[in-house]
Amino acid sequence: VNQEIDYDTAEEIAMEFDVLCEKEEVVDVIEELLKEEEEDENTMEKRPPVVCVMGHVDHGKTSLLDAIRHTNVIDREAGGITQHIGAYVVDVNGEKITFLDTPGHEAFTAMRMRGANSTDIAILVVAADDGVMPQTVEAINHAKAAGIEIIVAINKIDKPSANVERVKQELTEYELIAEDWGGSTVFVPVSAHTGEGISDLLEMILLTAEVLELKANPKREARGLVIEAQLDKGKGSVATVLVQKGTLHVGDAIAAGSAHGKVRAMMDDKGRRVKEAGPSKPVEILGLNDVPKAGEIFVGCATEKEARNFAETFISQNKMKLLEETKSKMSLDDLFSQ
Ligand code: GDP
Ligand code: MG
C-alpha cells in the first residue's frame, strides 16, 4: 500500500478498476457547444491588443500598471476617476491597448483550460536591481506554454543599483534575447516611479500588436471571457467580461458558465454607461442570474431560452464531472483498502 508507483502503472490499475470511466466524454458536451466554424477572413477587422503584466513579486507589476493608467489622457480629462473592473483601456494616439490587471494566475489557468487565451501580449516585469527570480521564470514558462508574445520591461531603472545589462544577460538563458544581444525580443527599460520609458513601452506594445495582425469579426454574436465577477447587494451579479469576438449590446441574451440572463446595463472601465462593446473591450455587465467564475467563456445567444439552455447544460455537466471525480476518489479508496 505504501509503495510508490509511476503514473503509467497507476493508470493501468485504475483502468482495471474502471476508474477513468469516459472522463473525456464528460468534458466534450461543453466543448461541442462552444465549437465554432472558422471565421471568414473578409469579416475580420483589426482589434486592440489585450495585454497582461507578469513577473516576480515586488518587481513592480502593480506600480507599472498604475503608471500606465496615469499616462492615459482620457483618464485625466475625466478627472482621473477610474473604476476598478479588473481591466482598463489605454488610448495611445488614437490606438487602444487593453490591460488586464487581475491578480494571480488562477483565471489565466482556467481560461487556458477552455483553450481560450485571454491575452495577446505579456509584459514581463523584471526589476533592474534584482534580476531574474523564481516567479520570473514561472511567468516565462506560463507565457511560452500559452504561446503569448513576451515584451520585457526592465523596471526600477531609477535606482542607483539598477543593472539593465545584467537582466538582459540573465534572460538569454530563457531564450529571451535582446536586439543588442543579437536576438529579437523587445526589451524596454522603464521606471514606474519616474515614468521614464513608459511611452516607449506603450509604443512597443502597439508595434508588436501590428506584427501579430490581431483581428476579430465585430459583426456577430459576442463571445469572450469572464475576467471577474461578484455579487453586489444592490446590483446583483456584477461581471467584468472581455469581449473577444462580435459585439455585446445592452438587451442581448447571454450565458456565462452556470449563469445566464439578459444584459441589463453595461459600464466601461471609466465607469461610463455604454450600449455596446466590441472586440478587446472589457465591460462590466449587469443582468446575470448568478455569479460566473473567472475564466469561464461567455456567449451571446439569440434568445433567452438558448442562454438558459446553455447554462443548464453547463451546470449538469459540472455535476457530472463532480460525480466522476467523487467516483474515482471512492474507487481509489477501495483500491487502497484491498
Ligand atoms: P508587484 O508586487 O510586482 O506588484 O510590485 P509593486 O508594484 O507592489 O512594487 C513593489 C515595490 O517596488 C514598491 O515598494 C514600489 O514602490 C517599488 N517600485 C515599483 N516600481 C518602482 C520603480 O520603478 N522604481 C523604484 N525605485 N521603486 C519601484
Ligand atoms: Mg502587485
Lowest mean pLDDT among 62-76, 248-262, 298-312: 62-76
Rounded to the nearest integer, the mean pLDDT of the chain is 86
Instruction: Give me the active site residues, please.
Output: 105
For residue range 144-160, list pLDDT tens digits in order.
Answer: 988 899 999 999 999 99
What distance in angstroms lies between residue 7's CA and the mean position of ligand 2's atoms?
A: 37
Helices marked H in the chain:
7-16, 23-34, 61-70, 73-77, 106-113, 134-145, 164-171, 198-212, 304-337
| Ligand found nearest the CA of 63 | 1
Contact 119, 50 (CB under 8 A): yes
SS3 assignment, position 73: helix
Task: Using alpha carbons, select from 224, 226, 278 the residue that is nearest to residue 249.
Answer: 278
What distance in angstroms lies between residue 59's CA and the mean position of ligand 2's atoms?
A: 8
Mutation pick for ligand 1 pocket among 58, 65, 196 (CB with most ligand atoms within 8 Å) = 58
The one-letter code for the residue type at 327 is: K
* Helices and strands (H and E) in the chain: how many: 9, 17
Task: Using alpha carbons, select from 91, 52, 86, 119 the residue that is nearest to residue 269.
Answer: 86
For ligand 1, atom 19: residue with the closest CA:
60
Contact 293, 232 (CB under 8 A): no
For ligand 1, atom 14: residue with the closest CA:
58
| Ligand found nearest the CA of 201 | 1
What distance in angstroms lies between residue 195's CA and the mean position of ligand 1's atoms?
A: 12
Q: What is the pTM of this model?
A: 0.85
CB atoms within 10 A of CB 176: 26
For residue range 19-76, list pLDDT tens digits in order.
Answer: 544 545 555 667 777 777 788 889 999 999 999 999 999 999 999 999 998 875 444 4
